[in-house]
Structure 1
Amino acid sequence: MQRTTMNPSPAAATDIEADTSARRSGSLRTLFGACLAHFVHDGYTDLIYVLLPVWQRQFGLGFAELALLRCLYSGTMGGLQIPADAWTRRIGGRLVLAGATLVAAGGYLVVSLPGGLAWLCVGLLLAGVGSSVQHPRASLLVSEAFEAGARRWLGIYNFAGDLGKSAFPAAVALLLLVVPWRGATAIVGVVGVVGAAALCVLLPRGLVATVARAGGRQGSGSRAGFRLLVLVGVLDTATRMGFLLFLPFLLHAKGGHETAIGFAFAVLFAGGAFGKAVCGWIGDRFGVVASVIGTELVTALLIVTVLMLPLAPALVVLPLLGVVLNGTSSVLYGTVPELAPTSDVGRAFAIFYTGVIGSGALAPIVFGVIGDHAGRTPGVLAAATAALLTIPAVLAMRRAMK
């Protein structure tokens, strides 16, 4: 008997092609929506640096009080990562991201209200609550939308956050030239409201609802491997924050003034944004372990190089340092779904972000103590050492992955 081969009918083939196209479109819309949320929330986080001197003059605050104001936002955002993930897991990701953005925008609208310091504190707390949701939820959505090669797309997501860190402070600095600071924060709040509305339109309903019900996919790593991944993230963040703490004083000692220091941070962050976009691809191409070891070794080497060089050559090196200083994080974020010890990838992201955000808050204090007692150069070298400490942790993580 002659065997016949069953081929799909033209109508069935058309349906399959349409379904594939719809899934691809939904994945891209999810990526764009997550990038928009990251852009807004990271912009909200860093624009506070522009407003701190204004608040110092307005309310007569000292440096410790300004640090506490900053902590009202960043501490609330970091401390609520895990609870926020638990509170929102039964709600579709589309509504979660749009609602969280609306709450964060509402916080800045409260900040803009006429009143005393109490209203400012309430607004910063509210904005921190809203921003506590974005990182774990948006990262989960991207990793679920692109199960194959998620690390590469998470790099694009992280790149969008760096764009927000650059755009929002610059925009607020320009606004302060023409409007009072309350007016500037009101405009920023309105932008967030518009962003929340855009998320409702942009994010697809079906894909996000499926992600919210599934709650993640089974990770391939052990609990030990995931803990080591968090440790690497903590050390990587500590390296970055420690170096940034000393960089302006290091450049000033080389003869750099305010213009040179501003230029240095601009080229460093530009390199960092590029690194976040590219290093996710590098992680896919060469693997997690080789990529992290390579970027951390180059980070430590370039930190020491900047420490030793005169001002002009140091400024030339800073963009390359920015690539590896920030780029490692994209490799690490993309590894969270792979090493999540349970099927709850959303909670794994929340735990990971709690670790790195907490490190970002505490590391400057630790390195500052080192700098106060031992000097600027030992403080910079301590930051480079933190980068090298990631290497044994990454090697141990590889054994856990096996």
Structure 2
Amino acid sequence: MSSSVPAAPSASVVAAPTQFRVLGAISVAHFLNDLMQSLMISLYPLFRGNFDLSFAQIGLITLCFQLTAAILQPLIGQAIDKRPMPYSLVMGTGFTLVGLLVLAFAPGYGFLLAGAALVGIGSSIFHPESSRVARMAAGARPGLAQSIFQVGGNGGTAAGPLLAALIVIPHGQISIAWFSGVALAAMIVLFFVGRWAAAQHRKPKPKKLLPPPNLSRRWRLGLLAALLVLMFSKFLYLASMNNYLSFYLIHRFDLPIQSAQLHLFLLLFAVAAGTLLGGPMGDRIGRHRVIWLSILGVAPFTLLFPHVGLGLQSVLLLLIGFVLASAFPAMVVYAQELFPERIGAISGLFFGFAFGSAGVGAALLGHFADHYGVDALIEVCGYLPLLGVIALILPDVHQRAPA
């Protein structure tokens, strides 16, 4: 199983206090940003009916959204390591605002793809810098800070289907434009966050609080690759549920669209709750343990899910979302501890890879669903968390700040 890798002697630097007001603000902005993204995905049944789309075309919408985010995020993360751009957070949300308006008034399928791409560009600008700000505000509690930041995003993701069911589905596609106010609110919050971050960058640079672990660069790169494989299994499974759970429930149980969206909300609400737990647990018991318990531990629930009735499925959705989501904050901070000099690049890589694997997966899963049906899709994807066995090789590189 996992072996402990002692850290190199750390510089005698006292950790700065955790800036909870900043973390709260960046979490609220993350909530609003991801709410807008989730709203788009939640409206796939509406788009399918309005434009007579196949499952493969639905998958391509996600691909346009996720790939623009996946390709740009690592590049932006690397750029901000060299030259921080705190006010870029406002610009990123501006792209999302324009994307929403394109989706609201889209007359055809091509405009849906363009709107999705703009939302993806907004996400690619937002996530690396905002994750870097969360790390700056973390003090000696990076896991907790990453969870606070990410729970905002997952909360927004959970709220998307609920708002889609309550507002957009009854009032039609054009009502997406009403959420432009959400984008404007996010831009106001991010302006103040950017001003705080800019002030931090003007201060004299302190010594590194924690050095890299005593591992060769090749071994650290190998561990990074293992984390990305685990990320792929996690986000491909979530892509199958986020994009096709509503269709699955409508097909299998003959649910109306609004009821199916409420079940999707259950899953995404549980994801938000699990995210809040994963970071602080990693601070206490080691991030490697949280990672393998989360991904491998969810496999019994995902395998059972297609074989039970609607009532038990609702319970399993809560369990799956809660357990599976706790891994992501631990993964991000684990990777940041492997490469502490590349916080922006690592954040961009992980958020970008998450979006990219979900996007490519959604497109491929759409073709699978067209040929074999959504029932078979949900059943086959239930095996993906078994890849969590790879997490058992991760050593403990958890480092605590000096007192």
Q: Same fold (TM over 0.5)?
A: yes
How do residues 319-398 of structure 1 correspond to structure 2 at under 5 angstroms? 319-340=318-339, 343-366=341-364, 379-380=377-378, 382-391=380-389, 393-398=390-395
Deviations 1:214-244 (A, max 9, x none): 9x97543622222222222122222333455
* Counterpart Cα distance in 2 of 1:352 and 1:239: 16
Residue 290 (structure 1) aligns with: 289
* Counterpart Cα distance in 2 of 1:135 and 1:381: 32
Residue 75 (structure 2) aligns with: 83
How do residues 84-99 of structure 1 correspond to structure 2 at under 5 angstroms? 84-89=76-81, 92-99=84-91
1:31 counterpart = 2:29: no
Specify the code of the residue in structure 2 equivalent to 1:146. A
1:199 counterpart = 2:198: no
Contact 1:339 1:401 in 2 (8 A): no
Residue 7 (structure 2) aligns with: none
1:144 pairs, out of 109, 131, 136, with 136
* Counterpart Cα distance in 1 of 2:41 and 2:190: 26
- Gap change, CA 1:124 and 1:308, over 3 Å in 2: closer
* Counterpart Cα distance in 2 of 1:133 and 1:151: 22
2:223 pairs, out of 184, 200, 225, with 225
Residue 16 (structure 1) aligns with: none
Contact 1:90 1:212 in 2 (8 A): no
- Gap change, CA 1:163 and 1:317, over 3 Å in 2: same
* Counterpart Cα distance in 1 of 2:313 and 2:259: 11
Residue 186 (structure 1) aligns with: 177
Deviations 1:121-159 (A, max 9, x none): 544333322211222221122123214221122112111
Contact 1:92 1:212 in 2 (8 A): no
Q: Choose between structure 1 and 2 for higher RCO, CA contacts under 8 A separated by at least 6 residues.
A: 2
Deviations 1:183-221 (A, max 9, x none): x3333223212321222124414555259989x975436
Deviations 1:347-397 (A, max 9, x none): 112122222222212334555666777887775564343212222x22333
Specify the code of the residue in structure 2 equivalent to 1:39. F
- Gap change, CA 1:309 and 1:377, over 3 Å in 2: same
* Counterpart Cα distance in 2 of 1:247 and 1:56: 15
Using the size of structure 1 for normalisation, the TM-score is: 0.78
- Gap change, CA 1:244 and 1:74, over 3 Å in 2: closer
Residue 275 (structure 1) aligns with: 274
1:241 counterpart = 2:239: yes
* Counterpart Cα distance in 1 of 2:355 and 2:109: 26
* CA-CA distance at 1:177 after TM superposition: 6.4
* Counterpart Cα distance in 1 of 2:248 and 2:367: 16
* CA-CA distance at 1:323 after TM superposition: 0.8
Specify the code of the residue in structure 2 equivalent to 1:397. L
Deviates more, 1:160-169 or 1:86-95: 86-95
- Gap change, CA 1:399 and 1:177, over 3 Å in 2: closer
* Counterpart Cα distance in 1 of 2:58 and 2:223: 38
What number of residue pairs does the alignment pair up? 378
1:103 pairs, out of 95, 109, 114, with 95
Specify the code of the residue in structure 2 equivalent to 1:185. I
Deviates more, 1:347-356 or 1:306-315: 306-315
- Gap change, CA 1:209 and 1:79, over 3 Å in 2: same
* Counterpart Cα distance in 1 of 2:68 and 2:58: 15
Deviates more, 1:364-373 or 1:36-45: 364-373
Using the size of structure 2 for normalisation, the TM-score is: 0.78
* Counterpart Cα distance in 2 of 1:116 and 1:211: 50
* CA-CA distance at 1:98 after TM superposition: 1.6
- Gap change, CA 1:234 and 1:177, over 3 Å in 2: closer
Calculate the aligned-residue CA RMSD, in Å: 3.8
* CA-CA distance at 1:30 after TM superposition: 2.8
Contact 2:290 2:330 in 1 (8 A): yes
Contact 1:45 1:74 in 2 (8 A): no
Contact 1:43 1:166 in 2 (8 A): yes
Specify the code of the residue in structure 1 equivalent to 2:233. L
Larger Rg: 1
Residue 134 (structure 1) aligns with: 126
- Gap change, CA 1:213 and 1:186, over 3 Å in 2: farther
* CA-CA distance at 1:282 after TM superposition: 1.9
* Counterpart Cα distance in 2 of 1:64 and 1:235: 21
* Counterpart Cα distance in 1 of 2:249 and 2:171: 32
- Gap change, CA 1:240 and 1:90, over 3 Å in 2: same
Any gaps of 5 or more consecutive residues in structure 2? 1-13
* Counterpart Cα distance in 1 of 2:43 and 2:204: 36
Residue 5 (structure 2) aligns with: none
3-state DSSP of counterpart to 2:116: helix
